[in-house]
Amino acid sequence: MVLDPGCRWQWLDPGLSDRETLRNVARRLDAERLVAYPVSIRVNRPANDDPALLEPVGDTGDSGA
């Protein structure tokens, strides 16, 4: 689930139990704000943990070497 950052505290409120309010909070992120791009195949190995994993890779791909 992806929430609008402005809704995160409302979503995490343990006192929030009204289903309609929960639905409204969960629907607030506009899908047009999401961006997708290919990343290194290194993300598939848990031992790899560095900021470079979030960098977009070019059209030629990334060997992960």
- 49: tokens are 């943990």
Contact 34, 2 (CB under 8 A): yes
Query: What is residue 59's predicted lDDT score, i.e. its pLDDT?
Result: 65
How does pLDDT run along the chain (65 residues), one tens digit per residue?
A: 788 888 889 889 999 889 998 888 887 677 788 889 999 999 999 999 999 999 999 864 445 54
DSSP per residue, 22-58: HHHHHT-S-GGG-----B-GGGGSTT--SGGGGSBP-
